[in-house]
Chain A
Amino acid sequence: MNTRPFLGWFVSPAGLVAVGLIAAMLAVFQYSVRAYIPGSLEVGGFTWQNFAAMLRPLYALAFWNTVLLCFETAVFTLILAYPLAYALVRTNSSALRSFILIVSVTPLFLGEVVRTYSWMIVLGSNGFLNTLLLKLGLLDRPVQMMFTAGGVVAALVHVTMPIMVIMLAAALSHIDRNYEKAAESLGAGPVRVFLTITLPLSMPGIVAGFSTAFAWTFSAFATPQLIGGGRVSTVSTLIYQLGFSSFNFPFAASLSIIGLALSLAVIALLRKAARPLERMASTT
């Protein structure tokens, strides 16, 4: 008797998709080492020129900006998402639970364009925030918020918030509350219980959320493009610009290879740095 019924039927379609994905990634690799022929969609012969060009300050700066932007976004998202995830998991009111869940998850499904557009209205010089601050007398003239890195970070925090809340809430919901009760019965105050029990035990969620937020921000395009307005250049906006304004697909390909490598390296580093913390959590 066949002990693995349908194996071939179930695996081969997935195998086909995987082959397609690998072929697409190989195409990017292959283009990244080809020469660019200006004004043509055809590519020339083999060259390392694209990778060498990345050492130029303009491109090196874009990489540095992107990493910084991702890091800031992930930190702020973590700080804002933690209280929300905590309230979501620990509240006794099921109405509040549903409300927090719907409010924090809905943006996840709105797509980058809708969310970015709404931030453009919030941040614009005739926008909501400037008008509000002017009317309250806190400002005497509009402050530039659009086309700044700060504006981009604010919108990106909003974009990565839902996934962070979900990952933190998943970790928090799996904590055995008897640990907290034990600490309380031994006389620890709420702050101490949180800092020595809850926070370390939620570390896997923090690491997962932080690295996911990082990766998402790295891959974000509409937000830096529209809110940055060309004045905040990131890897993603450069790739688009190179591909669709100058048709330099070989250089766009090499940029996205380095971008991918960089984002993978940072995520691996984060996971590695977090391992001692997680071990601490698992022995607590």
Chain B
Amino acid sequence: MKRSPGTLLLRWSGRVLVATVLLFVLLPGIVVAISAFNDRAILAFPPQSWSLRWFWRAFSYADFAKGFWNGLAVTVWASSIALVVGSAFAFAIHRYKFALRDLLEGILLSPLIIPHYTIGLGVLILASQTNVERGFPLVIFAHVVMVLPFVMRSTYISLENLDIRLELAASSLGATPLRILFTVTIPLLIPGLLSGWLFAAILSFNEFTATLFVSSQATQTLPVAMYNYVREFADPTLAALSVIYIVVTATLLTIANSVLGLGRILNVDAH
């Protein structure tokens, strides 16, 4: 196909535009990576001398280690509870009509638009009114509420793509509903359940605003510990920690992309 100079110009300006936007998205990551290896405690560009000492400090700072393990525990509990509760509910709304169905669905999806500080404040006030301790169950509950919509959505999409005839075949061969559920439906839903769990886990591990409200010194997660650090110190320790964060997240996503197909999960594949 012959292209006119105008079309070519358009094509190249489009490329330049996309490259510029990509640079904007990447810029903070690049800058953080440079400053993480800066030897001095005060930031300067370009760094005069290089070192790995901020990485050691990030690993040895007690609040980060504690925040990491706290966060991991909260994440595993919250995303697993959300997986069971959310996928079961998604199954029910996909298959059945029942009383209060739409209302219940609306309530459980509402954390997508309710600001996280409102959720955090609400859970905090509720806990103080009912004399519930500000412990892990409180943080986990707040996280379950916030990640549930993502698990519901992921399971619901998988159910839409599930061939119901497979269940009918099992049923006509005499399998009980319970047996069909465990030998046909759940195995077929595994990719959707897995990606829902992964999404929930990553979001829960990084949740900050609501956690700041509901956690205490004893239950603070990594993002809260990082927030407290940045308010107290100005050295590049947080830059080092951010680099670790970015590398781990990008690696996980690259794996998820090649194994599960991120485009499919995010529903952005061309048709």
* Interfacial residues, chain A to chain B (CB-CB below 8 A): 2, 4-7, 9-11, 13-15, 17-18, 20-25, 27-28, 30-31, 41, 80-81, 83-85, 87-90, 97-98, 100-107, 109-115, 117-122, 124, 126-128, 131-132, 158, 161, 166, 169-170, 173-174, 189-191, 215, 218-222, 226, 236, 239-240, 243, 249, 252-253, 256-257, 259-260, 263-264, 267
Contacts and interface: CB of A to CB of B under 8 A. Distances in A.
B159 interface: no
Contacts of B271: 173-174
13 contacts: A5-B177, A83-B21, A88-B268, A101-B268, A103-B26, A110-B249, A111-B205, A112-B208, A114-B246, A118-B242, A243-B213, A252-B121, A256-B118
Contact of B145 (A17, A101, A110): A17
Given A20-B145, A101-B262, 18 more contacts: A6-B88, A14-B89, A15-B104, A84-B21, A100-B22, A102-B262, A112-B223, A113-B230, A114-B246, A118-B239, A131-B45, A173-B267, A173-B268, A215-B115, A220-B209, A222-B227, A240-B212, A256-B121
A102 B253 contact: yes
A195 to B, nearest CB: 12
Given A243-B121, A243-B213, A114 B242 contact: yes
Contacts of B91: 6, 10
Contacts of B110: 21
Contact of A113 (B96, B115, B208): B208
B253 A109 contact: yes
Contacts of A174: 271
B115 A218 contact: yes
A118 B25 contact: no
Contacts, number: 270
A7 B100 CA distance: 13
Q: Which of B17, B110, B122, B141 has the most CB of A within 10 A?
A: B122
Nearest to A21: B145
A9 B85 CA distance: 10
Contact of A127 (B25, B43, B104, B129): B43
A87 B14 contact: yes
Interface in B98-151: 98, 104, 107-108, 110-119, 121-123, 125-126, 128-129, 141, 144-145, 148
B223 to A, nearest CB: 5
B232 to A, nearest CB: 12
Interface magnitude class on chain B: 35 or more
Interface of A is mostly: helix
A104 B29 CA distance: 12
B25 A158 contact: yes
B195 interface: no
Contacts of B29: 118
Contacts of B181: 5-6
B17 A7 contact: no
A240 B24 CA distance: 30
B31 A118 contact: yes
Contacts of A98: 254, 257
A118 B32 contact: yes
A158 B28 contact: yes
A221 B212 contact: yes
Contacts of A252: 121
B203 interface: yes
Residue of B21, B250, B266, B268 contacting most chain A CB atoms (<10 Å): B268
Identify the interface centre among B118, B178, B245, B266: most chain A CB within 10 Å of its CB.
B118
B226 interface: yes
B31 A121 contact: yes
Nearest to A115: B28
Interface in B237-271: 238-239, 241-242, 245-246, 249-250, 252-254, 257, 262-263, 266-271
B116 A219 contact: yes
B7 A18 contact: no
